[in-house]
Amino acid sequence: MTKRSQIPKRWLIVVILTLGAAIFAITPYVPLDSSYSRVTISTSFTLHYPLLLTHIFSSFIALVIGWLQFLPTLRKTRPHIHRIIGRIYLSLVAIGGITGIVVGMYTDSYIRQMSFLTLVLLWLYTGWKGYTTARNRNFNAHRKWMIRNYAVTLVAATARLVTPICILIYLVANQTEPFTSVEAVLKHVLEVNIWVGLVVNIVISEWLFISPSKNTHNH
């Protein structure tokens, strides 16, 4: 009974943190004005900003609705709604992933280009595996692949949550060097925060598979 009552609180913490980070990320793009963009927009590629917006908004909606798939009550009592949410979610992943490939190639830094490409490929692959395992009615594998997929969806939020930690580590590791500006520190940190977010989310998602296995065996 105690365990069950703790689950919603954990979900609530996850939802609040990720939503806060995601809203912070999406805010400059709500006015649909490229002058507010945190990403440098290419002047030679007219579709760059529209594709960036498509990527950002589809990814944001996927993040907002994605966690609903993992509610046991919804899955058991209203499986048709669970399936509808899953289809909408995976469609958003496909849209966000395909546009992400193009948008990622126009990122200034090569390291960030590679991080975006890695994220997109993992996002599309885990989404495809989640879809095919559901079609084959292998629901145990389906659940695992969808958790992995949502872990990749959450990387954008996690990357922002770990940024203060990355800044602290950078300042401690480089304390002998003269401090120039906040922008200079952020330039270094933003090269790695996506990678750190990805590693954190992968470790947590894989831990979720190992952790309940003990209870399953005992059951």
Name the residue ranges covered by the structural domains of the chain. Answer: 2-218
Q: Could you tell me where the beta strands, DSSP code E, fall in the chain?
A: none
- Measure the CA–CA gap between 28 and 94, rounded to whole angstroms: 23
Give the model confidence (pLDDT) of 2-30 as tens digits. Answer: 444 444 566 667 778 778 888 888 999 99
**22 and 56 Cβ atoms separated by less than 8 Å:** no
Q: Which of 10-24, 79-93, 101-115 has the lowest mean pLDDT?
A: 10-24
Percent of the chain with pLDDT over 90: 63
Which amino acid makes up residue 69?
A: Q
Instruction: State the pLDDT at residue 8.
Output: 55
**186 and 170 Cβ atoms separated by less than 8 Å:** no
- Measure the CA–CA gap between 52 and 33, rounded to whole angstroms: 12
- Measure the CA–CA gap between 58 and 112, rounded to whole angstroms: 20
Question: Is the confidence at residue 140, as pLDDT, over 80?
Answer: yes
Question: Is the confidence at residue 212, as pLDDT, over 80?
Answer: no
Instruction: State the pLDDT at residue 209.
Output: 83
| Phi, psi at 122, each rounded to 5° | -65, -40
Question: Is the confidence at residue 97, as pLDDT, over 50?
Answer: yes
Instruction: Locate all alpha helices (DSSP H) within 27-109, ordered by sequence.
Output: 48-66, 72-77, 79-105
Instruction: State the pLDDT at residue 11.
Output: 62
Which residues fall within 8 angstroms of residue 41, CB to CB, at 6 or more apart? 34, 48, 49, 52
- Measure the CA–CA gap between 107 and 94, rounded to whole angstroms: 20
Q: For 54, left (φ over 0), alpha (ψ -120 to 50), or beta? A: alpha
- Decide which of 17 and 105 is more confident: 105
Q: In what helix (H) or strand (E) does residue 130 lie, and over which residues does it extend?
A: helix 110-135
Give the model confidence (pLDDT) of 26-85 as tens digits. Answer: 999 999 999 999 888 998 999 999 999 999 999 999 999 998 898 888 888 999 999 999
Instruction: State the pLDDT at residue 219.
Output: 42
Which residues fall within 8 angstroms of residue 151, CB to CB, at 6 or more apart? 201, 202, 204, 205
**Hey, what's the torsion of the CAs at 201, 207, 208, 210, to 10 degrees?**
160
Specify the long-range contacts of residues 144-149, CB closer than 8 Å, at least 24 apart: 144/209, 146/69, 146/70, 146/86, 147/70, 147/205, 147/208, 147/209, 148/202, 148/205, 149/93, 149/123
